[in-house]
Amino acid sequence: MERYFYHIIFLLVFGSCKIIDPPEKIPSYIYIEDIEVSTSPNEGSSNDNIIDAWIFVNGTHIGTYELPAKIPVIADGAYELEVFAGIKRSGLTALRSIYPFYNSYQTTLQSNPNTIDTILPVVTYKDIANIWVEDFEDPGVKFTSDTISDTVIQITTIPAEVREGNGSGKIVLNSTQTLFQAQTNEPDFNNFKKGGNPIYVEIEYNTNYPLTIGLLHGDDFTSVLFPEELLTLKPTFGVWKKTYVDFTEIVSTQQAATKYQIYLSSPNYGTDNIEMFIDNIKVIYF
């Protein structure tokens, strides 16, 4: 009798699994090769270094995917898709985040099991972003060389040296030129907000020597701005690269500062034939 009792229990428990466990849903898929940026004339170049897609379905974050990516989606029928552009902050793989100045891409898709929707998200800068641009298309240069610098940023129009448009910035050092240092001179940068308010510098560069980017800061009682190094860009040896340099924390930690400028610097220790090319520099903040 006891044997029959356990047999009945077994049937009740294991025989009912098909009723208790609903069938597994089959996903549909989104394929994203790249995310592009669209800019207006006053926002500079549309070149980007977006590496990740942050995916939201019906308002819920379902994952972050390195591009290109095939992304599974579990949804019933029509769903709202939102894609945010992701970057490496200051070029660091461990610091990946949504770029705060891009709007998200939004669309409505239909979920059909085992089907693939190929999309090309296009994002734009947020209207409230302040965007300062140096693209070396004008006769003058918006970076002023420091008095201790023995070289300046030139504008090169040689096609092989230009990243985009008609001109790029060029910095030359050799065994007799031992230091390059230049800074912005933009009064509006004194309005940088603290408290974690995002501040970034976008820069494209092609260099055979390290180039440092940092923050100059001071207060109303000092006439001299103090340099604080943030990031040294490594040589690229003929390849143009773009990075998003995060100034948010370095600005926020300067609680007494009321003056800010961005600087570029490169000390030379006797090396010849140093050439550093820069272009499409943007300082962006809210």
Q: Does residue 82 share a domain with residue 59?
A: yes
Q: Does residue 139 share a domain with residue 275?
A: yes
Give the H or E element holding residue 154: strand 154-156
User: How many angstroms separate the CA atoms of 269 and 176, rounded?
Assistant: 10
CATH number at residue 254: 2.60.120.260
Q: Does residue 250 share a domain with residue 139?
A: yes
Q: Does residue 250 share a domain with residue 165?
A: yes
Alpha helices in the chain, H assignment, sequence order: 2-14, 17-20, 248-252
Number of domains in the chain: 2
The SS3 of residue 89 is: strand
- The reply to whether 16 falls in a domain is no
Direct distance between the N- and C-terminal alpha carbons of the chain, in angstroms, rounded to an integer: 78
Q: Does residue 146 share a domain with residue 42?
A: no
Provide the pLDDT for residue 22: 66
Is the torsion defined by CA of 60, 62, 63, 67 positive or negative? negative
User: How many angstroms separate the CA atoms of 171 and 275, rounded?
Assistant: 6
User: How many angstroms separate the CA atoms of 86 and 99, rounded?
Assistant: 6
Provide the pLDDT for residue 1: 47
Query: Which of residues 105, 124, 143 is at a domain's end?
Result: 124
CATH number at residue 95: 2.60.40
Q: Does residue 257 share a domain with residue 138?
A: yes
Q: Does residue 277 share a domain with residue 161?
A: yes
Q: Does residue 78 share a domain with residue 192?
A: no
Q: Does residue 173 share a domain with residue 97?
A: no
Provide the pLDDT for residue 262: 98
Provide the pLDDT for residue 14: 46
Q: Does residue 82 share a domain with residue 159?
A: no
Residues 6+ positions from 258 with CB-CB distance below 8 Å: 190, 218, 219, 220
Residue 224: closest CA among 132, 134, 141, 147: 147
- The reply to whether 206 falls in a domain is yes
- The reply to whether 4 falls in a domain is no
- The reply to whether 263 falls in a domain is yes
Provide the pLDDT for residue 105: 98
Phi, psi of 130 (to 5 degrees): -90, 125
- The reply to whether 73 falls in a domain is yes
Residue 195: closest CA among 246, 252, 251: 252
Provide the pLDDT for residue 241: 98
What range does the domain containing 65 cover? Answer: 24-124
The SS3 of residue 125 is: strand
Provide the pLDDT for residue 122: 98
pLDDT in tens, 43-86: 999 999 999 999 999 999 999 999 999 999 999 999 999 999 99
Provide the pLDDT for residue 18: 47
- The reply to whether 14 falls in a domain is no
Query: Which of residues 73, 105, 124 is at a domain's end?
Result: 124
Q: Does residue 100 share a domain with residue 60?
A: yes
Is the torsion defined by CA of 144, 147, 149, 151 positive or negative? positive
**Positions in the chain short of pLDDT 70:** 1-22
Q: Does residue 230 share a domain with residue 140?
A: yes
